[in-house]
Structure 1
Amino acid sequence: MIRLVRAELQKVFTTRMVWGMLALSLGFTAIGLVALSILSGGQGAPSLSEPDGVRNLFSQAGSGLVFAFVIGTLLITGEYRFQTITHTFLVTPRRQRVVGAKLVACAIVGTFFGLAGIALAFAVGVPAMLIKGASLSLIGADVARVCAGTVAAMALYTILGLALGSLLRNQVAAIVVGIGWVYVLENLLVALLPSVGKWLPGGAAQAVYGVSSPLGGGYLPAWAGAALLIGYAALFATVASVTTIRRDIT
């Protein structure tokens, strides 16, 4: 299994696409960090001298969730697009092992994206707090929870991308559907049906972050959000396994 995981990671990290997605993810994170740093303390936004403001600032580390999703999608749809999936299953006939290796690889890649976002958040957030005159003592357990939530959410969305790619197989369709869900449908559900939005993957991630909620009823408690993220990850992993193992690859 270790060799399979290593092979999957090599497929990912030897392509320019993953570094492009990482750059875009960090770009979105940087925009969010700079915007919140400038707007903090004004127009109703929490100040960086308040715990809510600090949590909101460091939660920007997860701004690139959609790019982690895209990488998960490419990890499986690229195989179908270039017909390398046939060779993969010939080398490793037990498809369960292939799917397991891809799931582990997705979790590792998502974790890598999350850690990169966290590093950027500290690189921008700490100077911003000092400039605003905030105390660095506010970087404590709450920020640690935000960082843990960022890593968990990134890993989850990478697995989600793999599951959707396994289901649709078409690379363009999977990416369009995924981006449409993350940026359009989920946001609409959060805005129009707040009681539903907090149960979605994005709502679960926000619950773990502990950021200020725009929802009428608020997000779930942090522990419930974490449990929900784990449940979604298990569901997506099952979808990826079933759709890859039982379907004809031709």
Structure 2
Amino acid sequence: MSLTRATRSELTKQFSTSLWWVLALVLVAWVGSTAAGLAAVFAAGASGALGDAAQGPQLPAELIPPMVYSLATAVGYVFPLLIGALLVTGEFRHQTLTPTFLATPRRGVALGGKIVAGIVVGLLFALVALVSTVVPGAGILAAFGVDTQLQDADTWAMVGRMVIAFPLWVLIGIGVGTLVRSQVGAVVGVIAFTQFIEPILRVVAGLVDGLDAVTQYLPGAASDALAGASIYTGMVGGETQSLEWWAGGLVLLAYAVVFLGLGHLLSWRRDVS
């Protein structure tokens, strides 16, 4: 079977189940509500709408729009990561990998089909996430009189970089799923790392001198660097060290290549029952 047919087969598997649109709905609700809430809080603080007696978190007005829009990746990256992991671990859990390999004996082609299909799904989720953050975020900022910066080329360049980040996260997820194999293990590991371990490390790095030189190479930090903005700007006081956007993209790509390579060498070529 050719790579084209393998990709078509993987896309059929992905879109013939309810998993993708259920995750997309959760993505919309999660990042949309987060973007709307934080846009209101920071815009109210910057505009003085809360009054002198109840000032909210302070952030320079020019930093609020990119911070709000970047929530698409800063918060939403767990979804393409899960999609990638489930794309592989679902085959192990439901024991459909054997017929997959029978239909596509060349395992490199079978994995390549998943990679291409994952990129397509990642682009779709990027569109969903960006609409969910930019539309409500810009609307609320405008209501408070804060410049939405939608007329700036830099804003749309950031949006374009976030579109690139989503497929990279799917590829990392495919690599993780190939290595771990267990669907429960992969999902628990992804959630634990993205929602607890890395956020805690990055918050601590903002408080401990020199630690951010290390944590800037974590995958979430690299993704934020690629986007060019981060929620951690508003969460952590002071300046934290960050990679250039192109370096963040290369680090994220390196994670994808390493996980996919290790998964192919150590797990994908093993016998399946």
If the length of structure 2 is used for normalisation, what is the TM-score?
0.84
8 Å contact from structure 2 (residues 179, 259) kept in 1: no
| Aligned with 2:221 (options 192, 203, 206) | 203
Aligned match of 2:51: none
Larger-gyration structure (1/2): 2
Separation (CA, whole Å) in 1 of partners of 2:163 and 2:247: 16
Separation (CA, whole Å) in 2 of partners of 1:94 and 1:240: 15
Aligned match of 1:227: 250
Separation (CA, whole Å) in 2 of partners of 1:52 and 1:137: 10
Does residue 237 of the first structure (1) align with residue 260 of the second (2)? yes
Aligned match of 2:48: none
Separation (CA, whole Å) in 2 of partners of 1:108 and 1:236: 19
Greater alpha carbon shift after TM alignment, 74-83 vs 154-163: 154-163
Separation (CA, whole Å) in 2 of partners of 1:196 and 1:188: 14
Q: Note the 1:125-144 alignment, pairs <5 A.
A: 125-144=137-156
Aligned match of 1:167: 179
| Aligned with 1:46 (options 52, 59, 64) | 59
8 Å contact from structure 2 (residues 165, 249) kept in 1: no
Separation (CA, whole Å) in 2 of partners of 1:189 and 1:44: 22
Aligned to 1:40, the other structure's residue is in SS state helix
| Aligned with 1:177 (options 189, 210, 224) | 189
Separation (CA, whole Å) in 1 of partners of 2:186 and 2:163: 23
Does residue 191 of the first structure (1) align with residue 209 of the second (2)? no
Separation (CA, whole Å) in 1 of partners of 2:243 and 2:84: 26
| Aligned with 2:269 (options 238, 241, 246) | 246
Aligned to 1:220, the other structure's residue is in SS state coil
Aligned match of 1:123: 135
8 Å contact from structure 1 (residues 95, 244) kept in 2: no
Q: CA deviation at 1:191?
A: 2.6
Letter in structure 2 aligned against 1:82:
H
Separation (CA, whole Å) in 2 of partners of 1:151 and 1:243: 30
Letter in structure 2 aligned against 1:246:
R
Unaligned residue ranges in structure 2 (runs of 5+): 46-55, 205-210
| Aligned with 1:6 (options 8, 12, 26) | 8
Q: Note the 1:19-30 alignment, pairs <5 A.
A: 19-30=21-32
Aligned to 1:45, the other structure's residue is in SS state coil
| Aligned with 1:95 (options 92, 107, 110) | 107
Aligned match of 2:67: 56
Unaligned residue ranges in structure 1 (runs of 5+): none
Separation (CA, whole Å) in 2 of partners of 1:97 and 1:244: 15
Aligned to 1:70, the other structure's residue is in SS state helix
Structure 1 outlier segments of 4+, above 6 Å: none
8 Å contact from structure 1 (residues 79, 85) kept in 2: yes
Separation (CA, whole Å) in 2 of partners of 1:209 and 1:139: 18
Q: CA deviation at 1:79?
A: 0.8
Aligned to 1:57, the other structure's residue is in SS state helix
8 Å contact from structure 2 (residues 216, 243) kept in 1: yes
Q: How many residues align?
A: 248
